[in-house]
Structure 1
């Protein structure tokens, strides 16, 4: 039989990424004031109809970068070759106002909601282009807060530009060989030339967005024994027009004394150029105070973590869209029944939809807080919540997002395992969100520090209790115990994290993530009673109850309450064989 003969599966057709999404239209309606709603909604509709189809076509032809280190005469040239499609992906995003929307602030403190909804809709098709754009966002924020007038005049406006011909992207070079995420062991040193001009020497082990126009980097400006307290933040220009001629011949090179030693061979994010770099007399400008690098760069880390969390949810959106559209065309059995009409299969899709909606609510709770802080409309309570929820949201959405994306793959059966549909790429690219900008373990320790900062526990607790109290009045007997479950979990997390040295920060992070996502969903469900029709409100209420009662909150609370801190020596004997005497013959 020829391939053209016999049965051929009808291809699934994805719906509109905004209009047909199970949560985004209502979420925008709830979060956005009426004066901004119409413009933002129109922009998102156009994005789904015009831009994303173009984005998908460009992304399909994107190819991994490669490095040409030497020319035929043995001269080292370190030429980074990237595909034209990668450039186009950045250009499309820049034209859509990413990163511009965030800093034009035409929608006030809801500009972050506007821009991140676009990112959520685009992420699954964009070949991780939002990695360099997230660092561009962070760099723009640092220059907005700490940049000199010259940096703001020459660099800042290009970071937020909608014109691809003049727009810059930024990298973030923090990771080094001795420390990984532990920047206190940074080896790169900075030597002052004059004023805020420095020359950097060191080795950056992991530099995403190697093709960027500028980059932020930490370097040591004081005694190494002081660890991270002797680090300063620098802006490194890769565009020759941004650095002056110096007497250092290495700095006069085309790449500002930067050698690309090799490109990373990664599990995923194959289109993204990531490299190991040597800095040899690299010209850089000091940003912020001397030896204040960690404090100065904190705003970058918070922003890139929000991008990471929203990106994880964006991968789930794309995979779920494929899974649900496939269930509407795939028929099985002698009755040729659609998958969507089979209760067992539909039940699995419903579980995934609940997870997607919960993660989306959580992500945009944090996005909304970020917008308020940046526009200076936030009180202390909002700032405390943003600080503690940012690492939690990033870790929680990454962990839950990868699981959900894999389940979406299995919902397509063998078709889901094929590279052509892109879910495999989403899984590979999504896993990195569990690693960069802090692993779950690292972020759980950051969460503990934030929660124990004076006023944070009170701010978080008051937020949860206020939402629960309002829901009890508005929803009355509809909650089916959700309110009691939430308040009980809140008591558990506050008790656990109030300990001077919490013994189980990782389980605590997941419980806090469940509480925060459930609270955001409860707020939405309360709102929907008076703003939506009866059926939609019933769906929101059912989603909330399923998430709180059947999606892991109780298990997370139990784990935190019963976790046992095993002796380190016992763990070592369990994990490592060396040092254990084995008697007798093997």
Structure 2
């Protein structure tokens, strides 16, 4: 029998990425004023939704997209460090720039809602973008830093290129915050950089000169993990005081990857003393060039005040953490779209029933859908705060919420999204395990979000730092109660039990943050707050939907109810209570379990 004969599976069709999305159309209608949404934004997103499954997907398929290559020497034996990226990678990057990423954010045509619009575009594209938004997120962060504290020359010459919609002249920026260090004379070849930036050994020496971009410095160091190696500039931390000063001796620099940076004829890959030693062999993000490189008398320009580098690079870190959350839910969006479309065409029981008519299968899809809805509402709640802060219209309370929510949303979205992607893979059976569906790549790419810009442990500790001021927690509880108390009586009848549970969990959260806070409370607190904040945003949307009489208000209420009653939410509350009660015992027993050092554990 020929393969063309007999049983043939019907190919799935995902449909318009925007109009078929279960969350975005309704959510954006609530978040963006009609004068922007109805007149311009919705039609543009609908157009992009069609382009995603046609034009953009075609750029990301087959031999158009492949891993980058590094050519270190030419045929004459000269060091050239030429980085070659695939046609698909370059075209995806150009498409994103033409769509206004990151331009929309800084044109601010839609005022504080520009962030919401731009990130909605990115969310639709992520699943087919092969992590091209990694360098573009750092470009976004670099633009914000230069806008806030760049020299006049940087704002005039560099900033317009970072936000340009013209791929032929637009700049891409990297972020070299960590692991830029030299071999230590005390530790030999070991490089003590890593996530602990206070140990960074890259050195900056003033050249006693300046040009149109500002004061010039010479940098020497090593970068162990460099994304956006095919970019035009990078923001880097380097030491301007002794290593004994820790992070207080670091300054922030703008580093051109080639020299001259400006002009019609950019320099060669090695023209600014940057040598690429090898490309990283990663589990995922295969199209993204990530490298180890050294800086050897590299010309750089001081950004902001000297010895305040960690403070000055914070805007990049906060922006890229929000981007990381967008990447997590964007990958999940695509996996859910595939699994839902498959249920519309896959027949079982001798062809008598579609999967969409099998209650058990639909229940599996509903559980994935529930997580996608909760994460998307949480992420865009943070995006709204970011837009308001950047446009100077945020209250002090909103600024504090953004500070608190940013590490939570990044860690929570990364943690929940990949597990749900795996569920979407299983919903396709054997087809889900095939590379052609793209789910495998999306899972591999999604895993990096649990590490990039801070693991859940690092972000949990950052959450604790953001809550050291008791007033911030008080503001959070006030915000939470304001949403709960705004629930109208008509909606309250159907969700009263869930709201009572939510109020009880707020009390558990308050108890968890009583000082002194045990170290082990950090991670369960972050996860618990992730569930809590998501629930509050879901309730806020259900209230809006009910008050307006939206067609889907019943579904919005049910999503909120189910999320509050979700078994994982209940489980993390129990973990929080147990950790708080047994913190001292748990620390000792954990060491005994991991290292077998019974003598140090008072069991």
TM-score by length of 1: 0.95
1:247 is matched with none
Distance 2:100 2:365 in 1: 33
Task: Give the alignment partner of residue 81 of structure 1, picking from 73, 81, 84.
Answer: 84
Task: Give the alignment partner of residue 195 of structure 2, picking from 147, 171, 181.
Answer: 181
Distance 2:158 2:112 in 1: 24
Matches within 5 A, 1:399-438: 399-438=415-454
Matches within 5 A, 1:140-539: 140-176=143-179, 177-194=191-208, 196-242=215-261, 254-334=270-350, 336-453=352-469, 455-471=471-487, 473=489, 475-503=491-519, 504-533=521-550, 535-539=551-555
Change (3 A) 1:342 1:560: same
Structure 2 contact 202–239 (Cα < 8 Å) conserved: yes
Change (3 A) 1:142 1:474: farther
Task: Give the alignment partner of residue 98 of structure 1, picking from 70, 86, 101.
Answer: 101
Deviates more, 1:456-465 or 1:307-316: 456-465
Cα deviation, residue 552, structure 1: 2.2
1:584 is matched with none
- Give a deviation string over 1:525-553, Cα, whole Å, max 9, x none: 000012244x5111111111111112522
Is 1:47–2:48 an aligned residue pair? yes
Instruction: Specify the SS of the correspondent of 1:307.
Output: helix
Structure 2 contact 102–140 (Cα < 8 Å) conserved: yes
Cα deviation, residue 433, structure 1: 0.2
Cα deviation, residue 499, structure 1: 2.0
- Give a deviation string over 1:63-108, Cα, whole Å, max 9, x none: 1101111122322111111112211111000000000000000011
Distance 1:500 1:355 in 2: 33
Distance 1:253 1:67 in 2: 11
Cα deviation, residue 46, structure 1: 0.8
Deviates more, 1:302-311 or 1:448-457: 448-457
Structure 2 contact 104–115 (Cα < 8 Å) conserved: yes
Instruction: Specify the SS of the correspondent of 1:235.
Output: strand
Instruction: Specify the SS of the correspondent of 1:13.
Output: coil
Structure 2 contact 52–125 (Cα < 8 Å) conserved: no
Aligned length: 574
Change (3 A) 1:528 1:253: closer
Distance 1:225 1:52 in 2: 54
Instruction: Specify the SS of the correspondent of 1:138.
Output: helix
Deviates more, 1:557-566 or 1:459-468: 557-566
TM-score by length of 2: 0.92
Distance 2:18 2:88 in 1: 25
Distance 1:230 1:105 in 2: 35
Structure 2 contact 408–459 (Cα < 8 Å) conserved: yes
Instruction: Specify the SS of the correspondent of 1:436.
Output: coil
Instruction: Specify the SS of the correspondent of 1:212.
Output: coil
Cα deviation, residue 51, structure 1: 4.9
Task: Give the alignment partner of residue 566 of structure 2, picking from 538, 550, 554.
Answer: 550
Instruction: Specify the SS of the correspondent of 1:171.
Output: strand
- Give a deviation string over 1:309-339, Cα, whole Å, max 9, x none: 0110001100000000001100112353111
Instruction: Specify the SS of the correspondent of 2:160.
Output: helix
Distance 2:100 2:568 in 1: 37
Is 1:121–2:140 an aligned residue pair? no
Distance 1:365 1:255 in 2: 44
Cα deviation, residue 225, structure 1: 1.1
- Give a deviation string over 1:189-212, Cα, whole Å, max 9, x none: 100112521000000110011001
1:33 is matched with 33
- Give a deviation string over 1:460-487, Cα, whole Å, max 9, x none: 1111100000015562322131221112
Structure 2 contact 258–268 (Cα < 8 Å) conserved: no
Unaligned runs of 5+ in 1: 245-250, 581-586
- Give a deviation string over 1:483-535, Cα, whole Å, max 9, x none: 211122122222212323333100000000011000000000000012244x5
- Give a deviation string over 1:350-398, Cα, whole Å, max 9, x none: 1111110000000000000000000000010000000000000000000
Distance 1:338 1:44 in 2: 30
Cα deviation, residue 271, structure 1: 0.2
Instruction: Specify the SS of the correspondent of 1:3.
Output: coil
Deviates more, 1:523-532 or 1:569-578: 569-578
Distance 1:468 1:502 in 2: 29
Instruction: Specify the SS of the correspondent of 1:153.
Output: helix
Cα deviation, residue 255, structure 1: 3.6
Cα deviation, residue 569, structure 1: 5.1
2:13 is matched with 13
